[in-house]
Structure 1
């Protein structure tokens, strides 16, 4: 039974991580909402817009990879605060970029900060969780991301004349308000110190290959990487291109943004609902629910022009793509223990970011070839199958009675 002070501290940490995720969601969704305005301002074609989307994700890849490693040495508080400062400042600077080259650099550096924040947050929440509440706590934190995306989509719907520059200034400057709260709430303790206090003798941060592959951990690392890569690939195709694809299918701007809003509502439902199921079902059962639902959503989104079906598909897409991503985030700390935990989580997320970068680029190429939404659908479905197999394989390694 936790003392009241410890319980309050735990709730404050989860609440703070929720708001970091909220602003990540804002910053991740805003480029998709603002894509048309950015393209008009800088005179960019579809392939160049693919670069705008993917450079941010490319920065996330490096941020997740190195941020997790650095956090194992310097501590989570330092890295998380620095990450928020970086993505806030450079997201705001995107709004005043004088050239496309500066735009590209700002997108990359924004992604660098976003990428470093996520594995650190996941580790922070993982340290607060038990096997019985891991899914719940992770979902409470991670649902901040779709809530932030809903907020920016709502702004675009309610204020249709709002400029993309204003969206980027709002999304960049407001996260900086979190920094003093983070300084007060988070504990500034390197992970090695945690193991010293626990009485463990070997507190050195292990080599990266040891964290990932030693003692047959490759059997967990490799499928986790595949699950992250292909799940995030699909999720970022939808986040980045869905509004434009819907408008190309004949929907108005407001209809397309409304379905994107419904997509993010589905993301909240999926994050919370699938987190609840993760605490009660076997992982392979959750995986089947996620990827069968996602396949159905993709077929409807990319082949239908009927508004009610598109609304349903948008809701399902959010539930199963973002919800599936949140499940991967929730389970990833299980497979790595000791002082290399953030390294393990960070490398998995960096592979996911590689998939997230590949998705928008691949979609841009497919559209440039004139293959349209059908081409994107046929590129996405094999990724769904691979993800389902990978996460199902991981089920045998899940800690607890359900494994």
Structure 2
């Protein structure tokens, strides 16, 4: 009985730690959107340059996810996760005190690099503790930290109207460093791959992990689903407050819609995680992408606050909730020593989409196409993502 309770406590603490890693990712993802006007004013940035501020962090995540996952397969999940949090925390704090725009850009890139390496490692850590029966539940409990972190930023902006953007970044950068000693005590590394000969039979290279033995039938749809789902999610996270203000909303009204978006994200992460354990993947795809299609159509075609609040909740449920489902299912498509590599590759493709979304939005706005142009670019992406995730349904037992 004591052994069972100890094992349950260990799993609980692991999910708890990973929840806080996700929390600070959510904090960082939302902070630039909330702080956009302050950052632009401090460094005299135009809309295209602000697109770089949003996207450079995501660009760093792309590299972090791709190489961090591979490193974790060799060096161990624990070491890579601790190092990732250290890099993320230091450079997010540096963002607050960057003396010029070049330093700001570098700080955003390295903040993303740390977060990017943390995410596939964290997902694999939780995935190692999961079964088919509780995969959705454990993943949703861990990943709901992301929208809760984003809610914290929006909540701070609403409660403290005069809070500076620098203060937000200092809070988000220094606080996660507290997690590192806790990880040192609680996490245990799985057996590492012994790298003596790159061609050794027990050391799969990246091509083998991702493409050989018909693995491409899983990898490619997973990549497409990640790319377009995260593209939409990051357009909303990065640009929604500014877009709503351009549609005529007051600053506090725009922040309220954004806050409700993140409330919806918590509901979606937990609710869709519950459904993942009970429905087939193609059914999940229909629910997620139909809801997202409707939410985008409402968000970018009206300035009625009540409707926008409803659309904001829906957007959070189906964009962030849909993203969490992709994170939850990605470990099941890869086995053994290459698992974190496979998950990391999918997340890095998602980060590429996440980087593309804010940049594309900045270009569309610079061309004067407004929210109509953003909507026309977004809706086809929703359809493509739905088809890709549906194609993966045959490889999941439920």
TM norm. shorter chain > 0.5: yes
| Post-superposition offset of 1:204 | 3.2
2:228 matches 1:230 = yes
| Aligned position for 2:31 | 30
2:197 is matched with which residue? Answer: none
Q: Tell me whether 1:397 sits opposite 2:390 in the alignment.
A: no
2:250 corresponds to: 252
Provide, for residues 62-121 of structure 1, a one-character-per-residue CA deviation record: whole Å limited to 9, x for no partner.
000000000000000000000000000000000000000000000000000010000000
**TM-score normalised according to structure 2 size:** 0.97
Alignment of 1:119-158 (within 5 A): 119-158=120-159
Change (3 A) 1:303 1:392: same
Provide the aligned C-alpha RMSD in A. Answer: 1.1
Give CA deviations for 1:30-63 in whole Å, capped at 9, x if unaligned. 0110000000000000000000000000000000
State whether structure 2 residue 320 is matched by structure 1 residue 322: yes
Question: How many pairs were matched up?
Answer: 392
How far apart, CA to CA, are the structure 2 residues paired with 1:192 and 1:350? 22
Range 40-49 or range 184-193, more displaced: 184-193
Is 2:264 aligned against 1:266?
Answer: yes
* Equivalent residue, structure 1, for 2:87: 86
Matches within 5 A, 1:13-92: 13-92=14-93
CA gap of 1:187–1:203, structure 2 versus 1, over 3 A, is farther
Instruction: For residue 3 of structure 1, report the CA deviation from its aligned partner.
Output: 1.0
Retained in 2: the 8 A contact 1:26–1:152? yes
Task: Provide the secondary structure at the position in 1 that maps to 2:51.
Answer: helix
CA contact (8 A) 1:79 1:120 kept: yes
Secondary structure of 1:216's match? Answer: coil
For 2:41 and 2:328, the matched residues in 1 are separated by 39
| In 1, Cα distance between equivalents of 2:280 and 2:189 | 35
* Partner Cα separation in structure 2 for residue 294 and residue 205 of structure 1: 40
Rounded Cα–Cα distance in structure 2 between residues aligned with 1:36 and 1:297: 25
Distance 2:239 2:192 in 1: 39
Residue in structure 2 matched with residue 198 of structure 1 by the alignment: none
Residue 203 of structure 1 deviates from its aligned partner by 7.7
What pairs with 1:199-238 in structure 2 (closer than 5 Å)?
Answer: 204-238=202-236
Cα distance, 1:270 vs. partner? Answer: 0.2
Q: TM-score with structure 1 length normalisation?
A: 0.96
Partner of 1:97: 98
Which residue does 1:303 correspond to in 2? 301
How does 1:232-381 map onto structure 2 within 5 Å? 232-381=230-379
What SS does the corresponding residue of 1:205 show, helix, strand or coil?
A: coil
Separation in 2, partners of 1:190, 1:49: 43
Unaligned stretches of 5+ residues in structure 2: 195-199
What whole-Å deviation, never above 9, does each CA across 1:103-142 have from its counterpart, x for those lacking one? 0000000000010000000000000000000000000000
Runs of 4+ in 1 over 6 A off after TM superposition: none
In structure 2, distance between residues paired with 1:290 and 1:186: 33
Structure 1 stretches lacking a partner, 5+ long: 194-201
- Cα deviation for residue 214 of structure 1 reads 1.1
Which residue of structure 2 aligns with residue 196 of structure 1? none
Tell me the distance in 2 between the aligned counterparts of 1:277 and 1:43.
46
Alignment deviations for residues 153-204 of structure 1 (CA, whole Å, 9 cap, x no partner): 10000001000000000000000011110100000344438xxxxxxxx883
